[in-house]
Amino acid sequence: MARYWVFASSDANRARLHLGSCMYCRDGHGPARRLLVPGGPQTWTPFATVEAAQQWMDQLHYKDKSLCKTCMGEAVDGRQPASAGAGSDALT
């Protein structure tokens, strides 16, 4: 069962990585009020792991690629903001 989904929209030049449980993903169905057009420019692709989903998204050529801030807002792969204050006590 796919746990992660990548939304890709060639007309909007955008890709987003979602959890299947996200309200914007709904296991690849998308937002309830925005139905996909069959064969249209917007697609959902399922992945079993976040690594596989990110690798696939990395090779897309869209300008705007990121994790969904609603369901993937916290770092899921150990990436942390560069401003983390490790070692700051050396300044005291």
Question: What residues make contact with Zn ion under the rule CB under 5 A?
Answer: 18, 22, 24, 68, 70-71
Closest CB 31 distance from Zn ion, rounded Å: 10
Closest CB 62 distance from Zn ion, rounded Å: 17
End-to-end CA distance of the chain: 51
* Residue 46: how many other CB atoms lie within 10 Å: 16
Closest CB 69 distance from Zn ion, rounded Å: 8
Pick 13 or 70: Cβ nearer Zn ion:
70
Please report the sign of the dihedral spanned by the C-alpha atoms of residue 59, residue 28, residue 37, residue 69.
Answer: negative
Q: Counting Cβ atoms within 10 Å, is residue 48 exposed (0-12), middle (13-18) or buried (19+)?
A: exposed
Pick 51 or 69: Cβ nearer Zn ion:
69
Distance between alpha carbon 40 and the CA centroid of its chain, in Å?
20
Closest CB 87 distance from Zn ion, rounded Å: 34
Tokens representing residue 46 in the block: 């399922």
Pick 18 or 47: Cβ nearer Zn ion:
18
Pick 73 or 81: Cβ nearer Zn ion:
73
